[in-house]
Structure formats: C-alpha cells, structure tokens
C-alpha cells in the first residue's frame, strides 16, 4: 500500500510499504477514507521531536472503514465506518478508567524512552515518534488500530467525512482546552494561535458559555476564520498584545488564556531570535513565546490552558507571575476518547459543523506538497484533508 | 489523629517484623540465602541507583592515574627518565608520552568512562612497553630499573585491558553484582497477580531474558535464559519463600552456573487502587562469556530493563496481552520500533 513516511527534516515521501496486519487480538484494520495533516505534525516535519526514524508512517487524524478485526474486538464489525481517536488507550488501566485516555499506561511499548524524557510515559500515539510508541500512522491506505473498541467511534448517520473526521483530534483538543478554562458566565477567553485547534477552541469556548473570545494570530485568513467563529481578533504584528488585551478587559486581563501555538511560536522582535537561537544551539528545545504572553496577560486567579504541544525544556518561564497571580495551569494531550460521543452528538445537534476548517483537499500521493504548503502557511492554508 | 498515625506506625512495624522473619536474599558462605529485611543481601553494600558501577570507577581511577603520570612526564621528564633507568636526552619523547597519557585520561573523565577511551589507554600502554623494550636494549640505560618499570607498566596494561573489556561487553556491576528493585502498580487484585507469577512457566512470556522455565516439583525449577551467540545459560532454582497472594522468593541452587536470587511482593495499593508489585533481583555474573551474556540481559540500566518486563506483566494482567508494534508497516527494511 501507499503511505506517507518521514525521512528527515522537511523530507516526507509517499512510498510503498507492506499492508498492516492484526498484531494484537484487540486490533482492527481500517481502510482509510480521509486523513488530515495536523499542526502538531509540523513539529515532526521540522525536526523538533526526537526519536523519529526514517520510514515512520505519519498521520494521527484519520477515519475509514473497518476491513478486518482481531478475535477480541467486541463492539466493532467489519464494514463499520469509524473515526479513530489519536491516542491509543487500553480502556482497562487506572488512567483509562478515569477517562484520562492520553495517559494510558499500557499502550507505549517504548515507555522507558518517554520515562527518560518526562519521568513517566504518556499513551501511545499514531505516527508521532518512537517516544510515544512508534505506531504506524494513518496517512496511508490502511492502518492498524489497536484497542479498536476503545479508540474508535462508529459513524452511523449520513455525515460526510469532513464533518466527523476532526473528532480524531482537533475538535476534542480545542474543546478540552476550552473545558480546561473553566468558563463562567461573562468570561473573556484569549486564545493564542488561530490554527485548526485554535479555531475549534474559539467555537468550543462559545459553546461552553464564554461571553467573549479574543483570538491572536498574524495570518489574515486565520484571523478572518476566527472572526467568522465570533471572536474578536488581534494581529500581533500590528499591535502590542498585552496592551490591547488590557484595554479590552478594563485592565484586569482575560479570565482565561489559551496557548494553542506550542513549541514553535513566533513573534516580532528580539525575543523571538533569542529563543530561536537557543533552540538552534540545542540549549532550549521549545520556544514558549505564546505561553509567556498568556501567563503575563491572564487575570489574577485565572486559568492558563495549554493545548499547544511542548516536547522538552523551555527557558525564561515566568513562574513568578504564575505564583503571585495565583494562576491555574491546565494542559495535556487530549483525552480524545472521552469526547468522541459527546462531540458527535454536538455535530448531530447542529451546534457546530467541523468541516468549516477545511481549506485544502488533495490526494494522499500529494502529502509531501501538502506538508510544505501547510508549513509555509501558503495560500491561506489552515487544514488539509487527503483522500486515497 | 495521633492515635491514627500511631496505629499506622504499629502496623508498619508489625509488617517489618514479619518481613524480617520471612526472608529474602542474602549471602552466607558465598551462597545466596534467605533474608533481606535485616539488611543482609546477596550483594552487601551494592547500591542500586545512581552510583557508579565498579567498572566505571576503575576506569575513572585509571584515567586520573594517567593524568597524574602524564603531568609528571610533561614537567619533570629527566627525573622520571632517571627513575625508570631510561637513557637521558629523550625529553621530547617522554613529554609526548605524557601528553598521550593526559589525553586518554581526559577522554575517560569527559566521556563518562567509555570503553573506547579506556582502549586508548591500552594502545598507549603498548607504545610505552615498546619504548621500554627499546630502552632495555640500549647500552646507556639502567636495565634493572627498566625491568622494574616494565613490570609496573605491564600491571597497568593488564588492568586497562580488563576494564576496557568489561566496559566493551557492557558489564557493569556493583560489588560484583547486578541488582535491581522495581515497583509498578497493577490495577488488579493481589490473588490473580500472585497466581500468574507463581506459575513460573509464565515468567518467560514477559521477562525478555528468559527462554523457558521447567517445573521440577513444588519448589524446584529449571531456568533457561538467553546465552552468548544463540546458546543458553541454565540453572536450577528453588522457591525459598512462598506466602500466597503476598510474596514469592527464589534463588539459584548451590553450584549453579549463574548465582541468582529474586523476589516479588504483592501489596494492596491504597484506596483499592490495585496492587503494588515490587520485584527485587540480584545476579552475580560469572567471569567470561556467560557473565557477559548475563550483563547483556540487563544492559546499562537493569532497573529500566526489568521495569519493561514488569510493564509487560501489567499489560497482560490488565488488558490480556502485550501490545506490540513488531510487524507493522514502515518505509524501511525492518518495521519494529526500538525496545
């Protein structure tokens, strides 16, 4: 079959690889009908995530039809149309039972490696480095889905792929990030980053009762899409973010602030180059520019929610602000399985149609060009969906 | 409040006393014997975490010695030449040898006692011995002193070689022992976990270094582990302590190829959160290739290796099987992820 594989920094290739097989009794094989490129994959593309190996199959946002099941798959059958959650979770361990699926203890065969980096290992993730298991991903014609009963949701109504595909990651990710903001009536939520997760966070914040959402980015198409979702916007290249936020909130600051940017943040001015150089010299792995701003802007006693991906160490973290302002920090890989059903219900109810985020459609064979375009944010690219 | 904590202390003490009576691992007359709570162990004083292995300590010692000698060669080459009975007027050569010594020494200290750095000392020793050989042939040297110096350098060479060899094979021991303690919470009751473990034939399904275990009788078993180059290492072991649902301890019987003792403890985790499983194991690798194979089972970090074993046990008990990526597609020759 054809699969999009990682071969090095900014080097993706669609190559022929063997078809996946059932390897564990609770596996299913899914014939992929749609797969998306996730913003978090750009960190792999740009070489910021360690333990990638040449030939790793990419992709953790995908859906399709089950074509084979292992002997212990109970809730799914061949022929089921499913969306697959990006973390791989057993459903049996301490964390899965608490619905903290992205912290599953049993799905990372390389847990020792993650333990060295993080102290403890998170769950396995499709196509997201060997630190999270080295599982082959879904930017392929077929994909193996371990623990298929836990990690898939069956799509029975007549939704199009684009309406339900993003249950695999970005819709739950934006939703969980908003949920973490503990939104109260009248609250203002500021969101750094209007990429796909930021877009879903904006809509989720409103669904959860935010009075006002202020979205921060620099790309006109993304700011426009944020405004379409009801947000006020700040172009951080035009105005000072902190000052503007204070003006908009009477000096108090947003009730919660969200960093939907992560480790490759960008900003005008010298501080950006300070972090970029430190990162290039390997004395800092992540650039926490958006996170610093979010912490500084957040109101006293407020919440900073971080759906943006971080992988290692950051520098100049304003811990004094966190402590003295009594901030709450909430973060984590998304416990995606927890949101599959409730968010599918939201879609069915017409609360949100996730297909709004799609800007580009292409074939799997064009994945390398897709990555390049998404990385450069050319042509107003926000979300790419690929079909076989 | 005070009463509660007192009660808890009392319970803990009772627990400790029971443990003391009930044996884990220690040594008596060179043999592994029961006991562990009383502080005795198969490998007394072998510290488990963080400290340097004795091979690494040797390497550091040799590195420091080399730097000292090198400085002497560099600064007082003539006096050194007189001391070892070498002919005078070879200051340049001796200084060069000094620089070589220092380079190897610094190499060892900065590369965390890598085998390569110690091998560079062996190469240097060979050069030193060659020069001493040349000196011995020279008419202007003091042959008695040169012979003494040669003996000293030969001794150092031997030490360098042994250390380099052990490091190359990945053998790292503490007091001659590989010892480890690993604990993992498993979200299942003690009974099932104990039963699965007590069926010793199950151990090789999650302990990677074992090939199989054959049961001989209620207490005795025959262990077969991976040996060098596809061969096996085998020994007989006996269960020395068996408390249903709580604790199992075993050890290799006297005269085995591999000196080994181990125990596993099943304790309820607080708040009904399953069972804390604690594994302790000690291996005394023999010299030679069997020892190298034993060392290779556990690699540089025995705790980590056995924690992965224990994690597979957990996966089996919680989900019914061990999750794998072996055999999945990839755009390269072999598909597996690193383990």
A345 and A325 housed in the same domain: no
Q: How confident is the model at residue B163 (pLDDT cuts 50, 70, 90)?
A: confident
**Each residue of B61-89: pLDDT tens digit?**
888 888 888 888 888 888 888 888 887 77
Cα–Cα distance, B151 to B140 (Å, whole number): 20
Helix (H, G, I), strand (E, B) or coil at A47: coil
Entry pTM: 0.79
A94/B327 touch (CB, cutoff 8 Å), yes or no: no
Residue B222, pLDDT > 50, answer: yes
DSSP code of residue A75: S
Given this model, what pLDDT does residue A96 score? Answer: 98
A344 and A323 housed in the same domain: no
Given this model, what pLDDT does residue B4 score? Answer: 41
Given this model, what pLDDT does residue A120 score? Answer: 95
For residue A118, give every residue at least 6 positions away whose Cβ sits within 8 Å of its Cβ, in sequence order, or none.
none
A344 and A325 housed in the same domain: no
Q: How far is A373 from chain B (nearest CA, A)?
A: 23
Q: Which residue of A has its CA nearest to B272?
A: A94
How many other β-carbons are positioned within 10 Å of the β-carbon of residue B83? 14
Query: What is the number of domains present in chain A?
Result: 2
Q: How confident is the model at residue B338 (pLDDT cuts 50, 70, 90)?
A: low
Given this model, what pLDDT does residue B335 score? Answer: 62
A112 and A224 housed in the same domain: no
A178 and A326 housed in the same domain: yes
**Each residue of A147-171: pLDDT tens digit?**
999 999 999 988 999 999 999 999 9
How big is chain A by its Cα radius of gyration, in Å? Answer: 20
Given this model, what pLDDT does residue B170 score? Answer: 63
Predicted ipTM?
0.90
> Measured between beta carbons, which residues in chain B are less than 8 angstroms from residue A113?
338
B304/A115 touch (CB, cutoff 8 Å), yes or no: yes
Given this model, what pLDDT does residue B174 score? Answer: 65
Cβ contact A122:A114 at 8 Å? yes
Q: What backbone torsions phi and psi does residue A284 show, to the nearest 5 degrees?
A: -155, 130
DSSP code of residue B205: G
Cα–Cα distance, B1 to B17 (Å, whole number): 24
Distances (CA, A) of B191 to A186, B246, B266, B277: 53, 8, 9, 12
**Each residue of B13-61: pLDDT tens digit?**
334 434 443 434 443 333 333 344 333 455 655 444 446 677 777 788 8
Averaged over B280-285, what is the pLDDT? 88
> Measured between beta carbons, which residues in chain A are less than 8 angstroms from residue B331?
3, 5, 7, 13, 15, 17, 54-57
Regions of chain A where pLDDT drops below 50: none
Chain centroid to CA A333: 8
Q: Which residue of A has its CA nearest to B334?
A: A55
Given this model, what pLDDT does residue B43 score? Answer: 61
**Each residue of B315-324: pLDDT tens digit?**
999 999 999 9
Name which of B320, B329, B337 is nearest A109 (Cβ-Cβ): B337
For residue B322, give every residue at least 6 positions away whose Cβ sits within 8 Å of its Cβ, in sequence order, or none.
B205, B206, B312, B315, B316
Residue B330, pLDDT > 60, answer: yes
Chain A interface includes B332 (CB < 8 A): yes
Given this model, what pLDDT does residue B10 score? Answer: 37
How many contacts, defined by CB atoms under 8 Å, are there between A and B? 107
Cβ contact B261:B33 at 8 Å? no
Which segment of A39-43, B8-12, B103-107 scores lowest on mean pLDDT? B8-12
A301 and A276 housed in the same domain: yes
A327 and A258 housed in the same domain: yes
Residue B113, pLDDT > 80, answer: no
Q: Domain residues for A376?
A: 2-169+334-387
Identify the CA nearest to B162 among candidates B63, B47, B287. Answer: B287
> Measured between beta carbons, which residues in chain A are less than 8 angstroms from residue B329?
1, 3, 17-20, 57, 136, 140
Could you tell me which residues are beta bridge partners of residue B277?
B184, B266
End-to-end CA distance of chain A: 10
Given this model, what pLDDT does residue A106 score? Answer: 98
Burial letters A154-170, b for 16+ CB under 10 A, else e: ebeeebebbbbbbbbbb
A211 and A315 housed in the same domain: yes
Burial letters A318-329, b for 16+ CB under 10 A, else e: beebeeebebee
Q: What is the CATH number of the domain that holds A90?
A: 3.90.180.10
Given this model, what pLDDT does residue B287 score? Answer: 72
Residue B1, pLDDT > 60, answer: no
A194 and A158 housed in the same domain: no
Cβ contact A61:A4 at 8 Å? no
Site of tokens 């109810």: A349
A117 and A218 housed in the same domain: no
A183 and A68 housed in the same domain: no
How many other β-carbons are positioned within 10 Å of the β-carbon of residue A98? 11
Residue B6, pLDDT > 70, answer: no
CA-CA-CA-CA torsion sign (B267, B270, B271, B274): negative
Output the six-digit token pair for A74.
Answer: 């109970």
Q: Looking at chain A, how many residues does it have?
A: 388
A247 and A348 housed in the same domain: no
B329/A20 touch (CB, cutoff 8 Å), yes or no: yes
Given this model, what pLDDT does residue B51 score? Answer: 61
How many other β-carbons are positioned within 10 Å of the β-carbon of residue B68? 13
Given this model, what pLDDT does residue B152 score? Answer: 87
DSSP string for A305-322: EE-S---S--S---HHHH
């Amino acid at each position: 079959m054809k699969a999009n594989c990682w071969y090095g920094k900014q080097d993706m290739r669609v190559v022929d690889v063997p078809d996946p097989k059932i390897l564990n009794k609770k596996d299913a094989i899914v014939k992929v009908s749609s797969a998306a490129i996730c913003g978090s994959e750009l960190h792999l593309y740009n070489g910021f995530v360690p333990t990638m190996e040449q030939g790793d199959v990419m992709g953790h946002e995908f859906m399709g039809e089950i074509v084979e099941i292992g002997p212990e798959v109970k809730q799914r059958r061949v022929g089921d149309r499913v969306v697959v959650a990006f973390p791989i979770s057993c459903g049996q361990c301490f964390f899965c039972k608490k619905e903290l699926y992205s912290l599953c203890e049993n799905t990372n065969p390389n847990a020792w490696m993650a333990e060295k980096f993080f102290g403890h290992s998170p769950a396995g993730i499709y196509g997201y480095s060997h630190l999270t298991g080295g599982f082959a991903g879904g930017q392929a014609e077929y994909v193996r889905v371990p623990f298929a009963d836990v990690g898939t949701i069956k799509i029975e109504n007549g939704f199009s792929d684009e309406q339900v595909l993003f249950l695999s990651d970005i819709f739950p990710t934006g939703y969980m990030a908003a949920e973490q903001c503990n939104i109260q009536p009248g609250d203002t939520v500021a969101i750094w980053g209007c990429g796909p997760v930021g877009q879903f966070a904006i809509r989720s914040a409103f669904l959860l009762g935010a009075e006002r959402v202020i979205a921060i980015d620099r790309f006109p198409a993304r700011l426009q899409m944020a405004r379409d979702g009801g947000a006020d916007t700040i172009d951080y290249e035009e105005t000072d973010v902190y000052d503007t936020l204070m003006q908009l909130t009477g000096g108090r600051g947003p009730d919660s602030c969200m960093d939907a940017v992560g480790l490759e943040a960008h900003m005008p001015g010298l501080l950006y180059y300070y972090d970029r150089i430190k990162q290039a010299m390997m004395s800092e792995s992540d650039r926490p520019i958006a996170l610093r701003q979010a912490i500084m802007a957040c109101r006293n006693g407020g919440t900073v929610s971080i759906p943006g991906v971080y992988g290692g160490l950051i520098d100049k973290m304003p811990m004094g602000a966190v402590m003295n302002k009594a901030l709450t920090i909430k973060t984590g890989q998304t416990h995606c399985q927890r949101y599959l059903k409730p968010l599918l219900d939201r879609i069915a109810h017409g609360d949100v149609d996730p297909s709004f985020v799609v800007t580009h459609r292409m074939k799997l064979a064009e994945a390398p060009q897709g990555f390049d375009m998404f990385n450069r944010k050319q042509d107003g690219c926000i979300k790419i969906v690929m079909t076989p | 409040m005070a009463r509660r904590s007192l009660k808890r202390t009392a319970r803990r003490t009772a627990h400790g006393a029971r443990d003391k009576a009930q044996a884990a691992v220690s040594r008596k007359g060179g043999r592994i014997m029961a006991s562990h709570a009383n502080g005795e162990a198969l490998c007394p004083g072998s510290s488990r975490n963080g400290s340097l292995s004795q091979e690494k300590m040797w390497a550091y010692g040799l590195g420091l010695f080399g730097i000292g000698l090198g400085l002497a060669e560099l600064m007082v080459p003539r006096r050194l030449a007189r001391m070892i009975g070498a002919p005078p007027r070879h200051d340049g050569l001796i200084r060069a040898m000094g620089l070589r010594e220092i380079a190897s020494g610094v190499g060892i200290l900065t590369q965390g006692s890598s085998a390569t750095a110690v091998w560079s000392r062996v190469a240097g020793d060979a050069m030193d011995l060659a020069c001493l050989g040349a000196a011995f042939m020279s008419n202007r040297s003091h042959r008695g002193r040169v012979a003494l110096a040669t003996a000293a350098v030969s001794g150092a060479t031997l030490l360098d070689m042994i250390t380099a060899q052990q490091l190359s094979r990945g053998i790292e021991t503490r007091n001659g022992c590989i010892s480890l303690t690993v604990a993992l919470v498993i979200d299942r009751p003690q009974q099932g976990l104990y039963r699965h473990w007590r069926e010793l034939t199950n151990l090789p399904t999650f302990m990677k270094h074992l090939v199989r275990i054959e049961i001989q009788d209620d207490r005795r078993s025959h262990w077969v582990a991976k040996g060098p180059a596809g061969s096996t290492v085998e020994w007989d072991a006996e269960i020395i302590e068996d408390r249903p649902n709580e604790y199992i301890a075993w050890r290799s019987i006297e005269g085995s190829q591999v000196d080994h003792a181990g125990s596993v403890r099943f304790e309820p985790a607080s708040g009904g959160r399953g069972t804390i499983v604690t594994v302790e194991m000690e291996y005394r690798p023999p010299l030679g290739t069997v020892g190298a194979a034993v060392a290779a089972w556990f690699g540089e970090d025995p705790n980590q290796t056995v924690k992965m074993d224990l994690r597979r046990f957990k996966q089996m008990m919680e989900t019914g099987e061990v999750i794998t990526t072996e055999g999945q597609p990839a755009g390269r020759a072999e598909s597996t992820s690193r383990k």
